[in-house]
Structure 1
Amino acid sequence: MKKLKRVLGALGMLSLLAIVLTACGSRKSLSQQDVLQNDRASNTITWGVKADTKLFGLMDVKDNQVKGFDVDIAKAITKRILGKNGQAKFVQVTSQTRIPLLKNGNIDAIIATMTITPEREKQVDFSTSYFDAGQSLLVKKGSNVKSVKDLNKTGTKVLGVTGANSVANIKKYAPKARVLELSDYAQAMTALKSGQGVALTTDNGILYGMASQNPGYKVVGGAFTKEPYGIAINKGQGAFKKEVNQALKEIEADGTYNRILKKWFGNVAGFNYKEAAR
């Protein structure tokens, strides 16, 4: 009798396991679910933002909050999509981790100084451009490097960040230069200060932020590429993408965009606020 009970018990456990596995198998992964529907149900949009990029997304150690242009734009879009009580949740990303986190469903969208490129469009969908940047150079004041042409010398070391579009661009515009890739902008700035490279390259908006934190360095050479930033969204999320684009259009039309732009870039030396305004 005891043996029969053990057998029945084992069969019961197997049946329960089968039900659980069947339920799990039939349940869509996070990345395949309807993002807009989920966000409306939770009244929250989860954004991937950078926390090491002054002006766009930087961690404020006083209150452990990420602050910047990207963060404020994300908050404004959230309110447009979900209403005044909608909540924006932020997850820190880097140039390396942002697409994997989006594809895995850990975040709903990326707003993290991400240039719209044909290569990236194969992996994700993009909103319309929300910021038009251009790649430039950050050098120590007094440096002989004045433009990207000065980097095209055999053995010249240039610093960049892994996963950033700027690394591929510098190889195109200065093919003879050697590129040292770091994991984030904080490490890249430290490397520039320690003389591991003669220049740090990325988008000018990011570099202006770094220059404002490091008075001994300046942005040079003007913009030698065009880098339109877009909000990245998983493929197959057409309804969510449509809402994001509509929200962008609305905040540009009612002046919200320009107020946020002026808040973060209005007094940045070298940045042409009027040219960037919409």
Structure 2
Amino acid sequence: MKKISLFMLLMAVMLIIAACGSDDAADNSGSSSGDGGSEGAKYTVGIDTTYPPFEFEEDGEYTGIDIDLITAIAENQGFEIEFSPMDFSGIIPALQAGQLDIAIAGMSITDERKNVVDFSDPYFDAGLTLVVSSDNTEIETLEDLQGKTVAVKSGTTGAEFARANEGEYGFTVSQFEDSPSMFQEVSNGNADVLIEDYPVIAYAISESGLDLKTVGERLNGDQYGIAVLKGENADVLEQINAGLQELRDSGEYDEILGKYIAE
């Protein structure tokens, strides 16, 4: 009889312990999955660090208009970012492959790109321009490019513009993967002219003392936008637009531009 009572007591204790363990497990499970949501979300941002004043590397740190802008937007909207530098031509394919969540790289908003990505509200008014060596007196307009070699950067609107107009104006296109190589090609006389976004080349000439000059009128009226993969990350794009507007309203947007582009 005592043996049976002892056995029943032990069984009761074991059941109590098991019940407590189940409650703890349930509590632990709830705490690990209950916080999630968008708070503390982290996004990978594609950039091209050969594109000052928008994106470049200085003393081992990424800097420029685009870097400061997306960093400020992230802080304003409460998400985190991690930069992934790459050639400009690889940024949209990286978005398509799921390697990037966001792209900011002085990317002009075009109808062709809209087939693949969704853009934020425009954050900068740019525009293409012709650039020649400082001693060149022959080239002022597209009509002067007959028989000339035009250097462009792969994947840019400058490259698209050149390809679309080479037949009409009779020039040859020479393509490069980065801006410094393209600049050097014209400085060395291996190409007659290059096509680049005006603010980028104006900054490069001013800061780097390049033996180049801009000529003629702007070739178009490009606007830059921040991109996400088409049909994806609509909530992120909404945050980007909201953050961008708040930066404009607060004056921080103008402060960022003022650090890199003189009035």
The amino acid that maps onto 1:218 is K
User: How many pairs are equivalent?
Assistant: 224
Q: Please list the CA deviations of residues 124-164 of structure 1 after superposition, one character each: whole Å capped at 9, or x if unmatched.
A: 110010001000022111212443324431x2001001111
Instruction: Provide the residue aligned with 1:200 in structure 2.
Output: 194
CA distance in 1, matches of 2:162, 2:191: 13
The amino acid that maps onto 2:186 is L
The amino acid that maps onto 1:44 is K
Give the one of 206, 217, 220 matched to 1:225.
220
Cα drift, residue 59 of structure 1: 1.4
CA distance in 1, matches of 2:245, 2:41: 21
The amino acid that maps onto 2:157 is N
Q: Please list the CA deviations of residues 188-247 of structure 1 after superposition, one character each: whole Å capped at 9, or x if unmatched.
A: 112122212111111101111221213421222131101100001112221111111111
Instruction: Provide the residue aligned with 2:47 in structure 1.
Output: 49
SS of match in other structure, 1:209? helix
Instruction: Provide the residue aligned with 2:182 in structure 1.
Output: 188
In the superposition, relative to structure 1, how do residues 233 and 88 fare at CA in structure 2: closer, same or farther (>3 Å)? Answer: same
1:165 is the counterpart of 2:157: yes
Give the one of 51, 67, 92 matched to 2:63.
67
Taking structure 2 as the reference length, what is the TM-score of the superposition?
0.79
Contact 1:137-1:219 at 8 Å conserved across structures: yes
The amino acid that maps onto 1:70 is D
Map 1:113-262 onto structure 2 (within 5 A). Answer: 113-153=106-146, 155-173=147-165, 175=168, 176-212=170-206, 213-236=208-231, 237-262=233-258
SS of match in other structure, 2:73? helix
Contact 1:45-1:78 at 8 Å conserved across structures: no
Q: Please list the CA deviations of residues 44-86 of structure 1 after superposition, one character each: whole Å capped at 9, or x if unmatched.
A: 33211111112111111x2x1121011000111111111xxx5
CA distance in 2, matches of 1:95, 1:145: 31
SS of match in other structure, 2:88? coil
Give the one of 74, 77, 84 matched to 2:73.
77
The amino acid that maps onto 1:168 is E
CA distance in 2, matches of 1:260, 1:181: 31
CA distance in 2, matches of 1:149, 1:113: 24
Contact 1:135-1:227 at 8 Å conserved across structures: yes
Instruction: Provide the residue aligned with 2:21 in structure 1.
Output: none
Q: What's the Cα RMSD here?
A: 1.8
Instruction: Provide the residue aligned with 1:110 in structure 2.
Output: 103
Larger radius of gyration, structure 1 or 2?
A: 2
CA distance in 1, matches of 2:214, 2:119: 28
Cα drift, residue 169 of structure 1: 1.2
CA distance in 2, matches of 1:226, 1:94: 24
Task: Give the % identical residues.
Answer: 26
